[in-house]
């Protein structure tokens, strides 16, 4: 099989419907593919609706699997990966809309670039304007002086909301559309399931780099992303973002860099707490460093049945 396309549904079956329908319109019949939809323990009403939607699409290419617990982004994708048979693995958010066949170009790119571990197409927003879909690894320059300063003082590519005209080797690609060489994905162990949400893509691209695989932007093909539609931001989600950021920072960077940024964040969120006391909740976690124990991952309730 050429490609396994894996996507997660969490209480948004209507969004998933649009994702699948747009995919089926553009993917060529010459490709041997499968679509694996992971329901990440949605409410029963949404899951029932999702089953009806997939049944109505009447496609043998679509496999629906339901988890009894919300596994988060990395865990949900690794759950779906258990059923994957493709030479290439495409992990794509359900708030993506396909406007063209991305997959033929990405396969061709990987065949021509054997050191490619992961590649992503050019991203557009719902207003059809180009948006950024890659970023740079952590550095003290980026943290204290900003991304633009880092780019001016290094060989990092400019991260702009623009239409790129040539392939770019980047530090990491965004998680909304990640097209992996399956061999590379397996060698690095896939996504780190300790992470519930955010920075999974930075982490796995770090591990790809350590194994001499590269991350790329391939702008010859593109897609639309309804950015933020799959998860809404609130103080709980912001806390999860900091948990993942600090976990990935400690895991992949030097102890000196980690400690400098950690103490900077302690000071930062103490001051933010004067404006919004909710930010004070971040401080004990940052001081003691027990990040994962605060994660939503540990606040799950297992449902009794799959259906």
Residue from 194, 188, 193, 180 nearest 206 by CA: 188
Instruction: Please tell me the total count of domains within the chain.
Output: 2
Whether residue 159 is found in the same domain as residue 269: no
Q: Which of the two residues, 215 and 299, has the higher pLDDT score?
A: 215
- Exposure on the CB side of residue 104, measured as CA atoms within 13 A: 8
Q: What's the pLDDT band for 305 if we cut at 50, 70, 90? A: low
Q: What's the pLDDT band for 230 if we cut at 50, 70, 90? A: low
Whether residue 79 is found in the same domain as residue 209: yes
Residue 280's contacts (CB-CB under 8 Å, 6 or more residues apart) are 269, 270, 273
- 279 located within any domain: yes
Terminal CA-to-CA distance of the chain, rounded, Å?
A: 29
Residue from 119, 105, 98 nearest 31 by CA: 105
Whether residue 36 is found in the same domain as residue 153: yes
Full residue range of the structural domain in which residue 287 is found: 235-299
Q: What's the pLDDT band for 233 if we cut at 50, 70, 90? A: low
Whether residue 126 is found in the same domain as residue 265: no
Whether residue 141 is found in the same domain as residue 206: yes
Q: What's the pLDDT band for 134 if we cut at 50, 70, 90? A: very high
The pLDDT of 103-128, averaged and rounded, is 96
84: domain CATH number is 3.90.550.10
Q: What's the pLDDT band for 130 if we cut at 50, 70, 90? A: very high
């Amino acid at each position: 099989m050429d490609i396994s396309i894996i996507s997660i549904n969490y209480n948004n079956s209507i969004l998933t419907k649009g994702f699948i329908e747009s995919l089926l319109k553009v993917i060529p019949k010459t490709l041997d593919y499968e679509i694996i939809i992971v329901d990440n323990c949605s409410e029963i009403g949404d899951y029932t609706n999702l089953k009806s939607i997939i049944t109505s699409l009447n496609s043998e290419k679509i496999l629906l699997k339901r988890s009894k617990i919300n596994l988060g982004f990395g865990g949900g994708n690794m759950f779906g990966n258990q059923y994957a048979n493709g030479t290439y693995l495409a992990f794509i958010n359900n708030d993506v809309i396909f406007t063209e066949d991305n997959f033929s170009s990405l396969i061709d790119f990987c065949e021509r670039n054997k050191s490619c571990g992961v590649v992503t197409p050019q991203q557009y927003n719902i207003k059809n304007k180009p948006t950024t879909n890659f970023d740079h690894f952590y550095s003290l320059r980026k943290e204290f002086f900003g991304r633009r300063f880092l780019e001016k003082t290094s060989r990092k590519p400019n991260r702009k909301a623009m239409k790129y005209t040539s392939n770019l080797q980047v530090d990491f690609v965004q998680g909304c559309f990640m097209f992996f060489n399956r061999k590379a994905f397996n060698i690095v162990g896939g996504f780190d399931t300790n992470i519930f949400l955010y920075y999974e893509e930075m982490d796995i691209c770090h591990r790809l780099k350590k194994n001499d695989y590269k991350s790329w932007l391939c702008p010859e093909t593109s897609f639309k992303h309804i950015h933020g539609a799959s998860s809404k931001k609130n103080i709980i989600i912001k806390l999860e973002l900091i948990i993942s950021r600090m976990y990935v920072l400690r895991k992949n960077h030097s102890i000196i860099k980690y400690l400098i940024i950690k103490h900077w964040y302690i000071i930062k969120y103490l001051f933010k707490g004067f404006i919004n006391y909710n930010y004070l909740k971040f401080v004990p976690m940052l001081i003691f460093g027990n990040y994962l124990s605060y994660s939503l991952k540990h606040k799950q309730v297992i449902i009794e049945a799959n259906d």
